Amino acid sequence: MCGIPCSGKTTRATELASLLEKYISDHAPTLSEKKISIRPNVVILNDESLKIDKTSAYSDPTSEKNARASLLSAVERHLSRETLLICDSTNYIKGFRYQLYCIARALGTPHCVIYCGSTPTQSLQFHSSISDSQKTYPLDTLQALTSRFEEPDSRNRWDSPLFIFSPSDDSASEIENIAQALIYKKPPQPNLSTVVKPLTETNYLHSMDRATQEIVDAVLQAQQDGKGGGESIVVPRSEVKVVLPGRTVTMSEMRRLRRQFTNLNKMHTELDLEKLAGGFVEYVNANF
């Protein structure tokens, strides 16, 4: 799920879970014939199910980071090839959606993004129409999260396939397409950033450290040379280009992205430096 606060994500997630469970039941003979094994119950993970207090969890960057980490960990625990799982949260950061995509791909299971496309005005109207006891976000938190929302783009692999619902849309209208995407579609092949294997090469971490550092250096140097604002730059060992954002990228930000990428990939054994570098560039672009 994806959308600004108070856009109807939980209501939509509940409806879709019920419709998908009915779909699985109604199409049991077909699924059996196609040798597709899928559990009859859909799992919904959100702040409520994880006992995360939204009022405090999104009040500062550290608390928000901890809340996202808890959600990501829960997804890793519950998701499997036979389990349909709905991650019911704002998922407003494209880099976080990329991480969810990587988890699904590593497990060899398809994924899709459901975007609840309420406008900020509609969100505020809903927020003001409910009682204080029903409000899960203070007004200032809602406005802050809305301003930081990064809209999904179906051209990105981690945002595709993308299903967009306006508040008045009927959930049942897309259930066949969603079922095709999640149940029948052949999952993508795991790649560098997602396959988990035992570490067998002693020089793997050294190779990754060197390749990613060269890319970090290239990005920072390009900025010093006056490049930026959507420009694409060539970096060492990668056919994929880094797209510089319309702001200054700090050394600490690049170090953080490098550290996160390393943690995601330190147990992998893909030693093709071009693929390794390309994977890091994709991760950087997704998080800019």
Say whether both 176 and 220 belong to one domain: no
Residue 252 lies in a domain: yes
Say whether both 17 and 115 belong to one domain: yes
CATH number of the domain at 143, please.
3.40.50.300
Residue 193 lies in a domain: no
- The pLDDT of residue 41 is 95
152 pLDDT above the threshold of 90: yes
CB burial string 231-263: b at 16+ within 10 A, e below: eebebebbebebebeeeebeeebbeebbeebee
Q: How far apart are CA 91 and CA 210, in angstroms?
A: 32
Residue 208 lies in a domain: yes
Any idea which residue has 């890319």 for tokens?
Answer: 215
Residue 216 lies in a domain: yes
The count of domains in the chain is 2
Q: How far apart are CA 13 and CA 115, in angstroms?
A: 11
Cis upstream peptide for 161 (omega within 30°): yes
Say whether both 237 and 156 belong to one domain: no
For 256, the domain range is 204-287
Choose the weakest-confidence range: 32-41, 53-62, 171-180, 182-191.
182-191
Say whether both 74 and 157 belong to one domain: yes
Choose the weakest-confidence range: 62-76, 102-116, 160-174, 254-268.
254-268
CB within 8 Å of 187: residues ≥ 6 apart: 104, 105, 108, 109, 110
Q: How far apart are CA 79 and CA 109, in angstroms?
A: 9
SS3 percent helix, strand, coil of the chain, rounded to 5, is 50, 10, 40
Q: How far apart are CA 18 and CA 22, in angstroms?
A: 6
Say whether both 227 and 133 belong to one domain: no
- The pLDDT of residue 265 is 74
- The pLDDT of residue 266 is 73
Section 114-136 average pLDDT? 91
Residue 91 lies in a domain: yes
Say whether both 137 and 239 belong to one domain: no
Say whether both 39 and 121 belong to one domain: yes
Say whether both 109 and 247 belong to one domain: no
Section 33-48 average pLDDT? 94
Residue 267 lies in a domain: yes
**Per residue in 190-231, pLDDT tens?**
555 555 444 455 577 888 889 999 999 999 999 999 998 889
Please give the DSSP secondary-structure letter assigned to residue 181: I
Residue 197 lies in a domain: no
Which residues of the chain form beta strands (DSSP E)?
43-46, 85-88, 113-116, 162-165, 232-233, 242-243
Give the pLDDT band of residue 102 (cuts 50, 70, 90): confident
Say whether both 174 and 218 belong to one domain: no
Say whether both 215 and 178 belong to one domain: no
Q: How far apart are CA 142 and CA 137, in angstroms?
A: 6
Residue pair 136/55 in contact by the 8 Å Cβ criterion: yes
**Per residue in 231-274, pLDDT tens?**
999 999 898 899 999 899 999 999 999 998 888 777 665 556 77
Say whether both 142 and 238 belong to one domain: no
Say whether both 36 and 159 belong to one domain: yes
- The pLDDT of residue 270 is 52
Of the three residues 184, 214, 240, the one that is the final residue of a domain is 184
Please give the DSSP secondary-structure letter assigned to residue 172: G
Residue 279 lies in a domain: yes
